[in-house]
Structure 1
Amino acid sequence: MPSRICRDGISFLYAQEVPMKLPISPRLLACAGFVAPGDRVADIGCDHGYLSIYLLTEGKARSVIASDINEMPLMSAVKNAEKYGVSDRMEFYLSDGVRSIPRDFDCMICAGMGGDTMVSILEAAPWLQSSRYRLILQCQSKTPLLRRYLSEHGWRIAEETVLQDGKFLYTVMEACFEPDYPRLTEAECYFPPALLENPSKDVPAYYKWVSEGLRIAAAHNPGKQPVLAALEALAQTEALRWLGDVQKQELKQEEQI
């Protein structure tokens, strides 16, 4: 059956094509890992729809609302949904964030955006601040800004993981609305407790990258010095001592070179 896409109240039909191998990156697979069986998912900024399609073909989601602010990638998502035979469980919307989509979903995924863009999406949709919704967020940049916003607006980062995809490290987090949960400290906005609850093998590399970035920033902005000091103090706690051991081992290796 052909797919439909809604734009300005008008439905358009698109013909079916032959399926091909689904290309999906490790960071998108990590996002999929946070989806609960039977979830109704809103994939915001769906691009070519690969994550949405994966969730449906693998039986991880019941249905998907796929949206994008740009028409061309959304058209590609429509065609790809037809190729993989999942268009009957997908709806497509040309939308700036969540402004033009239905609200009947369980979790919202934003992947491949900067933290400032995600904050703008959340600020424009205060109705998301409800226990009925979960957020799955894969940030490309300004992650501390996003964590700070979530914490200040009642969202608890329930789980977060770090992974390497190509040459880069990415974080993926799940947030639940719990307005009474304690806020993150400034240092925790850079390195949150959730990263250590089920730490991945890439956490030490992420800690090193974050601390080095803060050290450079503090050299030019004295206001960052207290944050760097708090982060380094955090690394000496029992929970992060193993990260300190990793750093010591790296220093020994550098001394031997």
Structure 2
Amino acid sequence: VVIAGMGGKLMVQILDDALNNGFKFKNLVLEPNIGEPGVRKWLIEHQYRILTEDLIAEAGHTYELIKARLGEEKELLTEKELYFGPFILKEKNHVFYQKWQGQLVYHEKLLTNLNKAKKKDHNRIKQIEKELDFIKEELND
């Protein structure tokens, strides 16, 4: 099954709906536009093993491609592997640095705006701070 061209939340909803209707797919090729960590988390929770990933750039956009196969047991991934992708994190090609430099700027602006809010969402602020730490660590590695 190939699912592409949509956000990770919708992709996970489609996979959940299929599962709830008795469909369990042996192989998945996924290309979420956003929300990649949520897709990886869903895969792991449903006993899929990520076989390979690729991060490519085309026409000013980056795309993460994830190929997974249904397994017998849950694969264990670190938080960073869920966030960046285990294969993408190992390869760290030029597209990785391009994407995450942009995400660093985005996250910094987002954190500034979250801290300016009259009613602060402290959980969201902590989440963004953690993601910023991850990004900085990997860009400086």
Over aligned residue pairs, what C-alpha RMSD do you find?
Answer: 2.5
Structure 1 residue 123: deviation in Å? 0.2
Residue 2 (structure 2) pairs with residue 109 (structure 1): yes
Equivalent residue of 2:6, what SS? strand
Q: Distance in 2 between matches of 1:134 and 1:197?
A: 23
Residue 74 (structure 2) pairs with residue 180 (structure 1): yes
Residue among 191, 209, 212 paired with 2:105: 212
Contact 2:48 2:74 in 1 (8 A): no
Runs of 4+ in 1 over 6 A off after TM superposition: none
Contact 1:154 1:177 in 2 (8 A): yes
Gaps of 5+ in 2: 115-123
Name which one, 1 or 2, has greater alpha-carbon Rg: 1
Q: Greater relative contact order: 1 or 2 (C-alpha under 8 angstroms, separation 6 or more)?
A: 2
Output one character per residue of 1:140-191: Cα deviation in whole Å (capped at 9) or x when no partner.
Answer: 2222222222223222222111111111111111112233311441x33321
Output one character per residue of 1:37-65: Cα deviation in whole Å (capped at 9) or x when no partner.
Answer: xxxxxxxxxxxxxxxxxxxxxxxxxxxxx
Equivalent residue of 1:124, what SS? helix
Residue among 194, 197, 219 paired with 2:87: 194
Structure 1 residue 137: deviation in Å? 0.6
Contact 1:161 1:200 in 2 (8 A): no
Structure 1 residue 129: deviation in Å? 4.4
Residue 136 (structure 2) pairs with residue 222 (structure 1): no
Structure 1 residue 119: deviation in Å? 0.5
CA gap of 1:228–1:199, structure 2 versus 1, over 3 A, is closer
Count of aligned positions = 127
Equivalent residue of 2:130, what SS? helix
Contact 2:55 2:62 in 1 (8 A): yes
Equivalent residue of 1:182, what SS? coil
Aligned 1:6-85 pairs, distance under 5 A: none
Which has a greater percent of helix?
2
Q: Which amino acid aligns with 2:46?
A: H
TM, length-normalised to structure 1: 0.43
Contact 2:100 2:135 in 1 (8 A): no
Residue among 33, 36, 44 paired with 1:143: 36
TM, length-normalised to structure 2: 0.72
* Identity within the alignment, %: 24
1:122 paired residue number: 15
Structure 1 residue 112: deviation in Å? 0.9
Gaps of 5+ in 1: 1-107, 236-242, 246-257
